[in-house]
Amino acid sequence: MTRDDTEVEIDGVPVLRAPAPDGVCRAGLMFRVGYADETLTQSGITHLVEHLALHGTDLADRRSNGFTSMLDTQFAVTGSEDEVVTFFDTLCGTLSDLPVDRLDTERQLLRAERRSRGGLTVGPMLRERYGAQRHGLPAYQELGLHTVDADALREWAAQWFTRQNAVLWLMGDAVPDKLRLALPDGRRMPAPPAVDLLVETPAYFHEDHDRILCTAVVPRSPAVPVFRRALERLLYRELRENGGYSYAVEVAAEPRGDGYSTVTVAADTVPDRQDAAVGQFLDVMAALRRGRVPAGDVTAALDDARRQVSHPNWAAESLPARALDLLLGQTSGTAEGVLGTTIEDLAGVAREFAGSALLSLPVRRQADWAGFAPVPSGSTHCVVGTRYASRSGTGTELVVGPTGVTACGASGRARTVEYASCAAVVVWPDGGRVLVGDDGFEIAVEPTLFDLDAAALDSLAAVPAQLLVPLPARDPREIPQPAEPAAPAPDQEPDRRGQLRPLVLLLVLALAFAALFGFAAVADQWGGGALGAAGSAAGSGVLIGLIARLKRRDRK
């Protein structure tokens, strides 16, 4: 099966072309740089370059845009050939000379963008698997918006946004003759290595949500997109059609850049059927661990793939994915490879998927019984240093030493961040700070909550300056304060009725006991033990009834 496209170069930049399905010219300039290439202290620097580079390139009706993802940054445009040429002329010029006078404005815009889109759905999954480094960084705030200056932006653009590190894809009848890509020289940048911190898989942890989320890492192959389709069909049938436990099920797969793909599953749950939804999902995972993928789902997935790659628009629609493959020096496989996938191939992908899975489950839903290990919520060691008790009297302690900090909770769980493996330290003018370890553990050090002395502050000052992220002053209401003991109730006039009730109760009890014992004595004298026992029981019933009525009256 052939594609109707050509591969050429413009100014040293490879160009992938295919006919436009609707006759409208579309193009994208993709660079091999993304969030995974940053550090936590500079996170967001690529996003900043993207925003600054687009300044002055906007066409009417929002027909141009930029995107920063895990491994790549892309600038896309839709328009006439002349508009496409003008867009890339302006873009390349701006990348070579960023309008850093707009830096403060773009910082504010990016913070607003972050607030408007909320947190990343799979952010906690990335944090638990990768920590606060490389592939885990999209789970965190873009701290670089507070630290990056104009010089750092220029250096970043010169290193990453070069002709050797770019690929252009274009949907159109031909490459415009006037199209130029005047980018600086550089080199092709390899994908960053992924550092998986999970000690044991499959694993799970809890979040306060009503969904089932799952990520897994599998070797990249032509079978992965087929498995994605088969898994989505399988889960939709089991969770939606058969069980009625979920409304929407989505499965996605994307390259990680190191020869592996990340497969992500997201399924919502009906609130009062969460236990059943989790149980059914885990049953599916158990079958996948044994390499069992229903033959009907395999056939349907292959049919879907066959229709997709046979569609006239396939050559054009696959251009962005092929551009990323070219930048990564990899391939997701030809159409023939995808269609040649066998059930044995899918069985292998299924076992890899289930064996490397990380689940995020609603609170109080367990997966131990299905062979999933809880993700550790604490560190395996503590630093040696001075202990500082919490001013709230909660039993929480900070241990501050020359090598790092450990936070010890009242439950005995400890989290440690060592200075040598610290990703960033967020600091405020009031002295509060948060240490973030490479493993994702965070420790808040608040002078208002702990009696820290000069020695502790000197130790904290030993953190390398390049790890510090100074933030603006906090609103005083945002600064944590120790919990104050509850104030005693104000003095009140004694309730005379409350004082009299015990006396009345005692008097009633005395009379009841007198009646009881008197009746029992007479019964024992005249009628024997049986009647005496009955009399005692009757007297006890009267006594219990009196007490109950008094209590009910006292509550009114």
Task: pLDDT tens for the chain, 556 residues: list them.
Answer: 333 345 789 999 999 999 998 888 999 999 999 999 999 999 999 999 999 999 877 766 668 899 999 999 999 999 999 999 999 999 999 999 999 999 999 998 888 887 776 555 788 999 999 999 999 999 999 999 999 999 999 999 999 999 999 999 999 989 999 999 999 999 999 999 999 999 999 999 999 989 999 999 999 999 999 999 999 999 999 999 999 999 999 999 999 999 999 999 999 999 899 999 999 999 999 999 999 999 999 999 999 999 998 898 998 999 999 999 999 998 766 777 788 888 999 999 999 999 999 999 999 899 999 999 999 989 989 999 999 999 887 788 999 999 999 999 877 789 999 999 999 999 999 999 999 999 999 999 999 999 888 888 888 888 899 999 999 999 999 999 887 655 555 544 444 333 333 433 333 333 333 333 333 332 332 233 332 333 333 333 332 333 233 333 333 3
Q: Characterize the bridge pairing of strands 166-171 and 13-18.
A: parallel
Q: Peptide bond before 429: cis, by omega within 30 degrees of 0?
A: no
Q: What is the pLDDT of residues 275-309, one digit of tens each?
A: 999 999 999 999 999 999 999 999 999 999 999 98
**Superfamily for domain range 6-171:** Metalloenzyme, LuxS/M16 peptidase-like (3.30.830.10)
Cα–Cα distance measured from residue 59 to residue 429, given in angstroms and rounded to the nearest whole number: 42
- Contacts of residue 342, defined as CB under 8 A and 6 or more positions apart, other chains included, come to none
Give CA torsion, residues 160, 163, 167, 171, to 10 deg.
130
* Topology of domain 386-478, CATH: PH-domain like (2.30.29)
Give me 257's structure tokens.
Answer: 């850049």
Distances (CA, A) of 20 to 76, 79, 334: 14, 12, 21
- Could you name the CATH architecture of 203-374? 2-Layer Sandwich (3.30)
- What integer pLDDT is reported at residue 451 of this predicted model? 87
Cα–Cα distance measured from residue 366 to residue 370, given in angstroms and rounded to the nearest whole number: 9
Angle, in degrees to the nearest 10, between helices 496-527 and 529-555: 170
- What integer pLDDT is reported at residue 118 of this predicted model? 59
**Residue in 390, 420, 295, 415 with CA at minimum distance from that of residue 347:** 295
Cα–Cα distance measured from residue 204 to residue 198, given in angstroms and rounded to the nearest whole number: 10
CB–CB of 272/255 below 8 Å? no
In three-state secondary structure terms, 254 is strand
Cα–Cα distance measured from residue 295 to residue 149, given in angstroms and rounded to the nearest whole number: 56
CB–CB of 516/540 below 8 Å? yes
Give me 408's structure tokens.
Answer: 């010890």
Whole-model pTM: value is 0.83
Which DSSP state fits 55?
A: T
**Residue in 436, 375, 447 with CA at minimum distance from that of residue 404:** 436
Q: What is the pLDDT of residues 361-419, one digit of tens each?
A: 999 899 999 999 999 989 989 999 999 999 887 788 999 999 999 999 877 789 999 99
- What integer pLDDT is reported at residue 549 of this predicted model? 35
- What integer pLDDT is reported at residue 396 of this predicted model? 87
- Contacts of residue 137, defined as CB under 8 A and 6 or more positions apart, other chains included, come to 35, 36, 38, 39, 40, 43, 126
Q: Which residues of 311-348 are buried (b: 16+ CB within 10 A; e: fewer)?
A: eeebbbebbbebbbbbbbeeebbebeebbebebebbbb
Cα–Cα distance measured from residue 120 to residue 213, given in angstroms and rounded to the nearest whole number: 12
- What integer pLDDT is reported at residue 556 of this predicted model? 37
**Total residue count of the chain as it appears in this document:** 556
**Residue in 60, 56, 93, 58 with CA at minimum distance from that of residue 76:** 58
